[in-house]
Amino acid sequence: MIKFLLKRAALTLPTFVALMFVTFTMIRLVPGDPIEVRRGERGISPERLAELRHDMGLDQPIWKQFFDYVWALLHGDFGTSIVSKTPITTEFFTLFPATLELGLCAMLFAVLIGVPAGVIAAAKRGSFYDQSMMGIALVGYSMPIFWWGLILILFMSNTLHLTPVSGRVDLIKFFYKPITGFALIDSVLSGQKGAFLDVLRHLILPTIVLGTVPLGVVARMTRSSMLEVLEEDYVRTAKAKGLTKFRVIGYHALRNALIPVVTVIGLQIGSLLAGTVLTETIFSWPGVGHWLVQSIGRRDYPALQGGIMLIASMVIVVNFLIDMLYGLINPRIRHGR
């Protein structure tokens, strides 16, 4: 097991090095160097320019710059934002809980609806319910979520006035200090009446929008995996024993059918992060995705560089952990490779 673990860890190392190289090169390929961006329209004296270049290490040979960059990264220094002059890590981790909260809610939404829908569809294979459910799942899977978000705002917020249009909480009515960064928890901790419900109301639309595509994927995957399991001998045995249909499907079959579904959920993390970019932009959600898009608008390349480095590292680490988990659950994977 330890050998397997070490081997896997060693395999992710080159990916990290390459990632550092890519993010390092990127900022040097961007039109206009970082100093030019900072200089603005009024111009700057040549002495000050040289000084700034020296401060940022831009007068060093390129290989030295790369090693300095890697050295800084290894010490947790992901650079400083040009706009806010704060470290990228500070900015990122202030905003990240909002993204994480939204992502978890969206995944929960997708699983809580997708799994039962897929199970029932498989149990009633070929029925009208099955066909319409799979039709809806495919629509969800094909949904341009930025449009879906606007349509939901149009109906739910502008026409029916059920949900707020943007943000995480109504800042005029409620104010609390972020303790955990998770609005759902912080609002409870603040002890203000109605704050939690307000946060929940703000979460509804972004959750639906971000959860729509995973919902389609999970429902389709659950159905096909369930259909496969229902053909197995042990399911027939369970049926022959005279167990109720509910018990056969809900207990014997579902447990095994969920394994590939869990895999798919794990694989959704990357696309979920991609989805947050669009969802957060629509709902002005103060998370990492919205911040990345804004960084491009502000030409804040260090923020872009650091942010992408952090996001990609997280995805690599999460994928590594999922791999480990499979190795633990399934000995065939552990010994097979």
Partner 1 sequence: MAVETLHLAPPGPLLAFWRSFRENRGAVIGLAIVCGVVFIAIFANFLAPYDPLEQFRDATKLPPIWVEGGDWKYILGTDPLGRDMLSRILYGSRISLFIGSSVMLVTAIFGIFLGLIAAFKGGIIDVVVIRIMDLIMAIPSLVLAILIIAVIGPNLTNTIVAITIVYLPRFVRLVRASAMSELSKDYVTAARVAGVGQWRLMFSTVLPNCMAPLIVQAALGISDAILEAAGLGFLGLGAQPPTPEWGSMLADSRDLITSNPWVMALPGIAILITVLSINLMGDGLRDALDPRLRRS
Q: Which residues of this chain interact with partner 1, rule CB under 8 A?
A: 14-15, 18-19, 22, 26, 29-31, 125, 134-135, 138-139, 141-144, 146-148, 150-151, 153-154, 158, 220, 223-224, 227, 270-271, 273-275, 277-278, 281, 289, 292-293, 296, 301, 304, 308, 311-312, 315-316, 319
* Residue nearer to partner 1 on the CB measure, 185 or 314: 314
Contact (CB, 8 A) for 170 and 183: no
| Secondary structure letter of residue 159 according to DSSP | I
* Residue nearer to partner 1 on the CB measure, 131 or 237: 131
Q: What is the dihedral of CA 109, 112, 117, 122, to 10 degrees?
A: 130
* Residue nearer to partner 1 on the CB measure, 184 or 316: 316
* Residue nearer to partner 1 on the CB measure, 69 or 301: 301
* Residue nearer to partner 1 on the CB measure, 29 or 240: 29
Nearest approach, Cβ of 17 to partner 1 (angstroms)?
Answer: 9
- d(Cα 196, Cα 325) in Å, to the nearest integer? 34
* Residue nearer to partner 1 on the CB measure, 186 or 223: 223
Nearest approach, Cβ of 201 to partner 1 (angstroms)?
Answer: 19
Cα 242 to Cα 245, 246, 256, 327: the distances in Å are 9, 11, 20, 35
- d(Cα 130, Cα 139) in Å, to the nearest integer? 14
* Residue nearer to partner 1 on the CB measure, 186 or 323: 323
Burial of 302 (0-12, 13-18, 19+ CB in 10 A): buried
Contact (CB, 8 A) for 59 and 53: yes
Nearest approach, Cβ of 274 to partner 1 (angstroms)?
Answer: 4
Beta bridge partners of 87: 80
Nearest approach, Cβ of 301 to partner 1 (angstroms)?
Answer: 7
- d(Cα 70, Cα 62) in Å, to the nearest integer? 12
3 state SS of 322: helix
Contact (CB, 8 A) for 214 and 272: yes
DSSP codes of every residue in 60-89: S-HHHHHHHHHHHHHTT---B-TTT-SBHH
Nearest approach, Cβ of 240 to partner 1 (angstroms)?
Answer: 26
| Secondary structure letter of residue 251 according to DSSP | I
